[in-house]
Amino acid sequence: MEARGDLTSILPYLPVVLRGGALFWPPQAQEALKALALGPDVSRVSSGDVLADALTDLRLALNLDPLPRRSAEGFGLFFDDRLSRAQARDWFDHVLPSLAHLLLRLPTLLEDHYHSAGDQARGLRLLGSQDAGLVLLSQELAAALLACALFCLFPTADRTKARLPAINFDSLFSALCYNARQSQEQKVRCLVHYFDRVTASTPAGSISFERKVLPRRPVSNGITYPDMDAWMKSDVPLCTFQVFSTGLIEDEEQEALQVDFANRYLGGGALSRGCVQEEIWFMIYPELIVGMLFMVSMEDNEAIEIVGAERFSQYMGYGSAFRFTGDYLDSKPFDAMGRRKTRIVAIDALDYPTRLQFESSGLLREVNKAFCGFLDQSNHQLYVKLLQDLNTKDNSPSVNPGECIGVSTGNWGCGAFGGNPEIKSMIQWIAASQVQGKRLTMQSHHWSVQTSMYVLSFQALRSFVNYYTFESEPLKRLEEVTLWVLRHRWTVGELWHMLVEYSSQRLRGETNEGFFTWLLPKDISKGDVDYMCE
């Protein structure tokens, strides 16, 4: 296998080595994995304490530092004290040897992956800043990479310098010690359950990880970073907006892009002490963690979309109240690429923006961050082709742009990041609405080229927003506001104008009202609301 560029970029961050065009485990590490694969009768690994020693030996064989002392204590605490005797026996007799077998296959899985990679989805590689692209992995390869993380085998040198998040599970286990919250143990239980499942039955699907970039400079047939004037001039109608006071984004029944309220470092505190929305998703969809291996932190004009992750766990609670409650059987259908039709987009909001969220630069940053995440480049390219067909002699389009899916979201950037829920809900609505799917149809033969080009230069291609408020008090009037706006048939530009005007008044101290109170007529009656709801 040739040392192609994508392999070269990720090789320093993998535990395997490249020799003579092939990938290998270093000899000492391979022998240690072979012993683990033969089970506790040979390896003598039958407890958490001994497992921690074995992981240190593996790390030393890879020229890594020993497992940190507190991490070793965490492995011992979980596998020796927190699991039942039957669960621990099954783990050391069956799951651990199966994971070692899987790791022994990692070089072969990687070589097969690179041989099958194509133009649409290149091989596993470092996806750095402004490097738009997609990586498609098999679920089996993802499981092997996660086993490396569990065993803490990934090299850590230069990850911080490269702006990559931590990927090994050492901090996750170390956080179990010394009066840790119960939620920390429950996070580990989710991951242990994942390894139980994938060693019992190897998953056969695929997962894609895409770095999405909204270029700041014009590109051919592409969409660039809109400025304030572009948003102000948009005459696109606002899309359907439905409010749910209860329910969870991940339980969305419609096919929709599910919004991960992300840290700019993918995964946030998933592998340490964090336990809010993003971290919980990375526990119940453990394959999301794989993206932390190669996705550099996001810039303001970037987002990360992951398609195909399988859900393995049920849970209840949030934050310190989070609890693993059992197995989850994911019944989502598969697409043509073998991915489950679960689409998750990670977008990071401004962190404690205070005044900045009302300034033009802050508003623009947030709406373009959401727009980048919601943007469907594949549908955009189909519309480019449709436009070309419309400009042919007979104006006969040959492309079906496909059905647009919506956005399932909630209080993005409004919890730990301290954003204003009313502003953030409107920003997401504006970003998701910037679409011309209904207006640029197969009957669009009479549109002018100039008008069509504007449409194609600036569209997210999403058809609805389902918004989960989690019973947030500041959003109790959200449905009232959206119904009132839709009744008056506002465009994206008109809502954006009102948001900018309100924000300017807040900055000048001319109003202290919330946006919803400021926007709605003061004399709006209960009857008006009832009429809007009909």
318 is in an annotated binding site: yes
pLDDT confidence of residue 376: 80
Query: pTM above the 0.75 mark?
Result: yes
| Pairing, β 22-24 against β 133-138 | unpaired
User: 22 phi and psi, to 5 degrees?
Assistant: -130, 155
Q: Is the pLDDT of residue 530 over 80?
A: no
Confidence of residue 163 (pLDDT cuts 50, 70, 90): very high
Residues 6 or more apart whose CB falls under 8 angstroms from that of 490 comprise 237, 238
In the three-class reduction of DSSP (H, G, I as helix; E, B as strand; rest coil), residue 347 is classed as strand
Q: Is the pLDDT of residue 462 over 90?
A: no
| Percentage of the chain modeled with pLDDT above 90 | 81
Cα torsion 302, 307, 309, 314: sign = positive
pLDDT confidence of residue 526: 47
Q: Is the pLDDT of residue 465 over 50?
A: yes
Q: Is 211 exposed, middle or buried (0-12, 13-18, 19+ CB in 10 A)?
A: buried
263 is in an annotated binding site: yes
Contact assessment for residue 345 and residue 257, using Cβ atoms and an 8 Å cutoff: yes
358-396 confidence digits (pLDDT tens)? 999 999 999 999 999 999 865 544 444 444 554 554 454
Q: Give the mean model confidence (pLDDT) for residues 200-209.
A: 97
77-122 confidence digits (pLDDT tens)? 999 999 999 999 999 999 999 999 999 999 999 999 999 987 667 8
Catalytic residues: 260, 278-279
List the chain domain ranges. Answer: 204-380+402-440+457-522
Cα dihedral: 223, 224, 229, 234 (round 10):
10
Q: How far is CA 473 from CA 35, 100, 121, 469, in A?
A: 57, 50, 43, 9
| Percentage of the chain modeled with pLDDT above 70 | 87
Lookup: tokens for 460: 């997210």
Q: Is the pLDDT of residue 528 over 80?
A: no
Q: Residue type at 328?
A: Y
139-154 confidence digits (pLDDT tens)? 999 999 999 999 999 9
Cα dihedral: 310, 315, 320, 321 (round 10):
170
352 is in an annotated binding site: no
pLDDT confidence of residue 219: 80
Among 150-159, 214-223, 511-520, which stretch is predicted with the lowest mean pLDDT? 214-223
Angle, CA of 140, 185 and 33, to the nearest 5°: 40
Mean model confidence pLDDT for the chain: 90
Q: Give the mean model confidence (pLDDT) for residues 212-234.
A: 91
Lookup: tokens for 209: 């990880």
Q: If you search the block for the tokens 């003061």, which residue do you land on?
A: 522
Check if CATH label 3.40.220.10 holds for domain 204-380+402-440+457-522: yes
* Beta strand extents in 238-320 (DSSP E only): 240-244, 256-262, 302-307, 313-316
